């Protein structure tokens, strides 16, 4: 009787874990699709404001720091410290703010678009 109950409980938890994993995977795919749509819209706006060369250097910068799929947003002021970036001449200024959490270290990267507008995204390392 105990053996049967224990195996039933294990089977129940295995089913719950499988369904949770399936739901988590669907959520992660939905978030990735939402991020891609948002970034695509933002890059189109930046292309109209700053031009195609700036957008290509911004995407090259994101690729260089290994965060091509990071969610980008516009902020009014950067945080952290200014960093000299010479590899991408059309990027006027870069600021980086490093942080730590339980999962590891990450940084917010802010790239200047206009005098009071910056593109910001997170980089995990």
- Please report the pLDDT score of residue 50 as a whole number: 94
Q: What total of structural domains would you count in the chain?
A: 1
Beta strands in the chain (DSSP E): 73-75, 81-83, 94-101, 104-114, 117-124
- Please report the pLDDT score of residue 2 as a whole number: 53
Q: Could you list the residue range(s) of the whole structural domain that residue 117 is in?
A: 2-124
3 state SS of 27: helix
104-114: strand order across its sheet: 73-75, 117-124, 104-114, 94-101, 81-83
Question: Tens digit of pLDDT for each residue in 10-64?
Answer: 888 888 888 888 888 999 999 999 999 999 999 999 999 999 999 999 999 999 9
CA distances from 51 to 21, 57, 96, 113 (A): 42, 10, 24, 11
Q: Which helix (H) or strand (E) holds 54?
A: helix 52-64
Which value, in Å, is the radius of gyration of the alpha carbons in the chain? Answer: 21
- Please report the pLDDT score of residue 101 as a whole number: 86
- Judge contact between 116 and 70, C-beta under 8 A: no
pTM: 0.79
Mean of the pLDDT values across residues 109-121? 96
- Please report the pLDDT score of residue 119 as a whole number: 97
For residue 104, pLDDT over 60 is answered with yes
- Please report the pLDDT score of residue 71 as a whole number: 96
3 state SS of 61: helix
């Amino acid at each position: 009787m105990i053996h049967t109950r224990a195996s039933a409980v294990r089977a129940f938890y295995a089913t719950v874990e499988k369904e949770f994993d399936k739901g988590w995977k669907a959520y992660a795919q939905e978030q990735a699709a939402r991020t891609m749509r948002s970034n695509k819209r933002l890059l189109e706006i930046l292309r109209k404001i700053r031009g195609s060369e700036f957008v290509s250097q911004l995407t090259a910068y994101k690729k260089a720091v290994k965060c091509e799929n990071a969610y980008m947003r516009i902020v009014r002021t950067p945080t952290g410290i200014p960093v000299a970036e010479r590899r991408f001449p059309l990027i006027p200024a870069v600021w980086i703010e490093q942080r730590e959490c339980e999962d590891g270290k990450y940084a917010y990267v802010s790239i200047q678009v206009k005098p009071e507008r910056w593109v910001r995204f997170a980089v995990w390392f």
